[in-house]
């Protein structure tokens, strides 16, 4: 692990300024598409019940990007929180989110070094953190992601796509 007091990388200011000018909703829509394809089916029903209707935000601080979303009607949905504060905001720099996803950095270490900030409903924040910690990293492996994407495509097309197996 690298030194937890200084991040190894920051999004360049010029890139952050350009990203900040983009409308939030399209990015949030893309973000929830990924959540629905890769993450949603791995979440426990009790977790999904606790997320129902709650407003959530991922804030990539150094990139000046925010993804606003909620869980409603059995799916993550992009949201427009506007000026209202969401129930939960998780904020960190891009490299710290990356290191968290790779499990190369511990969320508690980042939290206590003030590189990961959780604002809003503390109980909801702990539930989200513990849920993400409990997910097997194998679900994020590219082969697993592609399998989930293919499965979702078959479901959306009503089974009109034949399952793909090895070429004969």
Residue 166 inside a domain? The answer is no
Establish if 146 belongs to a structural domain.
yes
Q: Which domain holds residue 132?
A: 13-152
Instruction: Summarize the confidence of residues 40-65 as an average pLDDT.
Output: 94
At 101-114, the pLDDT tens digits run 888 888 889 989 99
- Considering the domain boundaries, does residue 118 fall inside one? yes
Task: Give the global pTM.
Answer: 0.80
144 pLDDT higher than 90: no
> How many residues does this entry show for the chain?
168
Q: For the domain that residue 38 is a member of, what is the CATH number? A: 3.30.1050.10
What is the structure's pLDDT at 82? 78
Confidence band (pLDDT; 50, 70, 90) for 141? confident
Q: Pairing relation of β-strands 55-60 and 65-72?
A: antiparallel
Q: Considering its fold, how many domains does the chain have in total?
A: 1
At 57-85, the pLDDT tens digits run 999 999 999 999 999 999 999 999 878 89
Tokens of residue 80, six digits:
């427009």
Q: Is residue 7 part of a domain?
A: no
Burial grade of 98 (CB within 10 A; 0-12, 13-18, 19 or more): middle
Of 25, 31, 22, 38, the residue nearest 152 (C-alpha)? 38
Quick check: is 161 in a domain?
no
Residues with Cβ < 8 Å from 43, sequence gap 6 or more?
131
């Amino acid at each position: 692990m690298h030194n937890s007091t200084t991040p190894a990388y920051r999004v360049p200011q010029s890139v952050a300024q350009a990203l900040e000018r983009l409308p939030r909703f399209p990015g949030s829509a893309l973000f929830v598409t990924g959540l629905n394809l890769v993450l949603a089916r791995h979440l426990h029903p009790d977790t999904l019940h606790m997320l129902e209707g709650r407003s959530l935000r991922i804030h990539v601080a150094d990139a000046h990007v925010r993804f606003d979303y909620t869980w409603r009607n059995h799916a993550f949905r992009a949201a427009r929180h506007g000026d209202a504060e969401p129930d939960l905001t998780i904020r960190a720099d891009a490299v710290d989110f990356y290191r968290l996803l790779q499990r190369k950095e511990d969320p508690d270490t980042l939290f206590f070094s003030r590189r990961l900030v959780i604002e809003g409903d503390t109980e909801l924040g702990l539930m989200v953190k513990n849920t993400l910690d409990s997910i097997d990293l194998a679900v994020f492996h590219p082969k697993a992601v592609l399998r989930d994407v293919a499965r979702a495509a078959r479901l959306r097309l009503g089974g009109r796509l034949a399952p793909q197996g090895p070429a004969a």
